[in-house]
Amino acid sequence: MNGISLTTICLALLLSCACWAKPNGSKNKKPKQVVPAIECDVRAGKINLPEFIVKCPAHCKETKQQVYGTGVFASISSICNAAIHSGIITNTGGKVIVRKMAGQNIYKGSNSNGVRSLSLPKWRESFVVSVGKPKKGVIYPSTLDYVPSRPTYVKTAGQKEAKPPAATTALPMTTMPEPTTATTPEPTTTTTTTPAPTTTTTPPPPPTTTKARAAVHKVRDAGLRRPEAGSAIRRPPSSPVGPALNRVQPAPPERTPTMSQSNPAFPRRDWAHPNFPRPDWFPGARQPADSDVSYAAPDSGYTWSETDASEITVEPVDAWKPEVNLYESGFNVREQEPVPRALEPVSQGDPNCKVDLAFLMDGSWSIGKRRFKIQKDFLSDVAQAINVGVAGPMMGIIQYGDDPVTELSLKSYSNSREVKSAVDKIVQKGGLSNVGKALTYINRQYFSDANGNRGGAPNVAVVLVDGWPTDKVEEASRLARESGINIFFVTIEGPDDSEKPNLVETNFVDKAVCRTNGFYSLPVNSWFALRKAVQPLVKRVCDTDRLLCSKTCLNANDIAFVIDGSSSVGTGNFRTVLQFVANVTREFEISDTDTRVGAVQYTYEQRLEFGFGQYNNKGELLNAIKRINYWSGGTSTGAAITFAADQLFSKSKPNKRKIMIVITDGRSYDDVRVPALAVQSQGVIAYSIGIAWAAQDELEYIATDPDKEHSFFVDEFDNLYKFVPKIIQNICQEFNSQPRN
């Protein structure tokens, strides 16, 4: 009886468990994430989703699809190559999660994991990549909603559009599309609903934080004159600060206007006719580019496409009016006076001193209030002496201590009177003298279009330092110089022999300035003699011909391509060679005052395709390269080199670096040694690129020493593209390694 009862109870329990498990079984079943595959050339801006997962194929690195930015990428970047650059995947491919975010004011290029990303000014939309492992319970869309191609939205007369603009209706492919306006769309947990990116909001800038200070300068007497040299040795940076001298918290850095997002309620602008010349733009230049990312023409990368003539439509950012302070509230009475102030002759400035000038003023505690006031008087005198104005110099100020903070952007004020008034209101921040951190700040953030950088004016940074910096400046200065910033140092009461052991970095001035010839450094023996340095400094910063650091490896060249058009090349391979020439040209800043490009095609004879300065717009230049017609004939490379020297380099500008790139697929019928030595003796840096049957000994004769850095060989024409980054890297390394004296 007991056995029967026990059996009955067990059976009842089993039935109950089965009943309970049945309805829950379907709920606990984990839905499978389907990962859509994409090609290497897919850009984030072409996918109309705020967050999604994709699978990249292998060998994307070899496609050379372009990437813009580091960490945060412009949405015209290749997703897969951006993931390789960030180390999320390798060249074997893999899964990547992409999250869209607001556009940035500037994107910095870099080399990482074998992918070279380019720099880019302002762009409307950005994205970041992460490892393709969704969080628990998160399911991303299994299909991708691509932004339709441009022709769908180009209106023609008398024809109605097939569908409205994508900005108002394009939604992820789901069963229940419901637009949302959440400021930060989150990936959904089911496959039936996906938030639509109908609105984009810019996240607030991160709050300015001040690092805990473990050491400060010895505090000087705020109202007393500094003791004469030798009378007292200043306390090393490890000395603690007294309780009565707690640092006032610095005000947050000046806020820059946030880029306005495109209004989805308005139709997109029409694209320019493809026969129009393409606008001159380059990722590394500091030029405003305010195109809508969803309608950007596809970047052809390293292949020709029909969009080369109108690769991207660039519209200038609305010109800021010099009489209006963009940082005022909009209800300020000052904004009611723009017209009379704009007409003041002084607001035009001195056209003979057109520079974008930033002063790094020392706000550390070591100065004291009296010397800080002397520093402000000095800056006011400089503003008056250089005659600030929109057609001349524009002046900004950064105060540094523990951290740098913008006091005046380059476009804050448009005449000397306003600058002097603003300088008078600057309050000392205190802290250490972290000059290196301030130089990094101006390089990465300050000289940007958002802060009023004009592009065509040299960038000049003048560092005012009391004594010596409390951090290292060498690396930060090098990066700033390579970005085209001319660094001057004004050292007041520099270290004497007894104080030099306290220096964080010896010879810090020579390691920081643009050149070590004395032009960029201005030592001042006493704070009370600082005003005597106004005129000497103004004379130097306005001497634009001697601002050598404005020239970079990408904007200071005359480049001549000498192209083999012999019968052995063939029509198809000749187009591949032109593609290579175009890819190299894309990397440079093209204009009459920047890099200029010329081309010669040769067989037994020579033909000048175009000379230096004939095309001063990058779009026009690339189109001219594309239009070069294949000639066919023999191979006389030596005569072609002589022809290039006579027709191109004889017309080169004195301040340009002369570079010749010879591309050939066979042995020359004439001697190449004598012409090569002759052109190199004129200061020309020669590169030789041989394909297939090219003679190795001739390539070495043509190339500048060392041969391994200037001579290259490939078996097939299709592999030419591999040498584009190597040539650019060599040109920049040679430029940046020039002596600084």
Instruction: Give the domain CATH number at 623.
Output: 3.40.50.410
pLDDT given at position 360:
97
pLDDT given at position 738:
74
pLDDT at 475 over 70: yes
Considering the domain architecture, whether residues 561 and 704 belong to the same structural domain is answered as yes
Q: In the predicted model, what is the mean pLDDT of residues 475-497?
A: 90
- Among candidate residues 492, 516, 546, the one where a domain is terminated: 546
The per-residue pLDDT for range 274-302, each reduced to its tens digit, is 333 333 333 333 333 333 333 333 343 44
- Among candidate residues 505, 525, 546, the one where a domain is terminated: 546
- Residues whose CB is less than 8 angstroms from the CB of residue 437 and which lie 6 or more positions away in sequence, other chains included: 400, 403, 404, 471, 476
Domain count, the chain: 3
The per-residue pLDDT for range 128-172, each reduced to its tens digit, is 999 988 888 888 999 998 887 544 333 433 344 444 444 333 333
pLDDT given at position 64:
85
SS3 call for 468: coil
Q: Report if residue 503 sits inside a domain.
A: yes
Q: Report if residue 236 sits inside a domain.
A: no
pLDDT band at 405 (very low <50, low <70, confident <90, very high): very high
Considering the domain architecture, whether residues 574 and 714 belong to the same structural domain is answered as yes
Q: Which of 334-348, 582-596, 713-727 has the lowest mean pLDDT?
A: 334-348
pLDDT at 344 over 90: no
How crowded is residue 18: how many other Cβ atoms within 10 Å of its Cβ? 9
Residue 360: alpha-carbon gap to chain centroid: 22
Mean pLDDT of the chain: 76
Q: Report if residue 171 sits inside a domain.
A: no
pLDDT given at position 311:
38
pLDDT band at 716 (very low <50, low <70, confident <90, very high): very high
pLDDT at 659 over 90: yes
pLDDT given at position 252:
45
Strand partners for 523: 491
pLDDT given at position 695:
94
Q: Cite the DSSP H helix spans in 587-633.
A: 618-626
Contact between residue 607 and residue 564 where contact means Cβ atoms under 8 Å apart: no
Q: Cite the DSSP H helix spans in 171-286.
A: none
pLDDT given at position 135:
83
Contact between residue 204 and residue 219 where contact means Cβ atoms under 8 Å apart: no
Pick the residue with more confidence: 181 or 412? Answer: 412
Considering the domain architecture, whether residues 500 and 601 belong to the same structural domain is answered as no
pLDDT band at 217 (very low <50, low <70, confident <90, very high): very low
Count of CA atoms in the C-beta half-sphere (13 A) of 133: 3
Q: In angstroms, rounded to a whole number, what is the distance separating the alpha carbons of residues 363 and 403?
A: 10
- Among candidate residues 113, 131, 149, the one where a domain is terminated: 131
Considering the domain architecture, whether residues 463 and 609 belong to the same structural domain is answered as no
Q: Report if residue 624 sits inside a domain.
A: yes
Q: Quick one: CA torsion of 326, 211, 238, 488, rounded to 10 degrees?
A: -30
Considering the domain architecture, whether residues 525 and 635 belong to the same structural domain is answered as no
pLDDT given at position 14:
64
The per-residue pLDDT for range 513-569, each reduced to its tens digit, is 988 889 999 999 999 999 999 999 999 999 988 888 888 888 889 999 999 999 999
Q: Report if residue 256 sits inside a domain.
A: no
Considering the domain architecture, whether residues 730 and 639 belong to the same structural domain is answered as yes
pLDDT at 267 over 90: no
Considering the domain architecture, whether residues 573 and 629 belong to the same structural domain is answered as yes
296's tokens:
């950007």
Q: In angstroms, rounded to a whole number, what is the distance separating the alpha carbons of residues 509 and 529?
A: 20
pLDDT given at position 22:
44
Considering the domain architecture, whether residues 481 and 598 belong to the same structural domain is answered as no
The per-residue pLDDT for range 603-641, each reduced to its tens digit, is 999 999 999 989 988 999 999 999 999 999 999 999 999
Kindly list the distances between the CA atom of residue 83 and the CA atoms of 56, 79, 92, 96, in Å, as whole numbers in the listed order. 9, 6, 12, 7
Contact between residue 115 and residue 84 where contact means Cβ atoms under 8 Å apart: yes
pLDDT at 644 over 70: yes
Count of CA atoms in the C-beta half-sphere (13 A) of 561: 24
356's tokens:
């974008």
Query: Given CA atoms 104, 109, 113, 116 in this order, what sign does their dihedral have?
Result: positive
Q: Which of 9-13, 407-411, 649-653 has the lowest mean pLDDT?
A: 9-13
Q: In angstroms, rounded to a whole number, what is the distance separating the alpha carbons of residues 649 and 612?
A: 9
pLDDT given at position 560:
97
Considering the domain architecture, whether residues 523 and 571 belong to the same structural domain is answered as no
pLDDT at 324 over 60: no
190's tokens:
């089911």
Phi/psi of residue 74, each to 5°? -70, 145
pLDDT given at position 10:
64
The per-residue pLDDT for range 681-708, each reduced to its tens digit, is 999 999 999 999 999 999 999 999 998 8
pLDDT band at 666 (very low <50, low <70, confident <90, very high): very high
Phi/psi of residue 381, each to 5°? -65, -40
Considering the domain architecture, whether residues 609 and 732 belong to the same structural domain is answered as yes
- Residues whose CB is less than 8 angstroms from the CB of residue 683 and which lie 6 or more positions away in sequence, other chains included: 658
- In the chain, pLDDT over 90 holds for what percent of residues? 49
pLDDT at 244 over 90: no
Q: In the predicted model, what is the mean pLDDT of residues 399-404?
A: 95
**Residue 644: which domain range?**
557-736
Considering the domain architecture, whether residues 499 and 574 belong to the same structural domain is answered as no
Considering the domain architecture, whether residues 591 and 479 belong to the same structural domain is answered as no
pLDDT given at position 593:
76
Q: Report if residue 155 sits inside a domain.
A: no
Q: In the predicted model, what is the mean pLDDT of residues 206-227?
A: 39
The per-residue pLDDT for range 112-128, each reduced to its tens digit, is 888 888 888 778 899 99
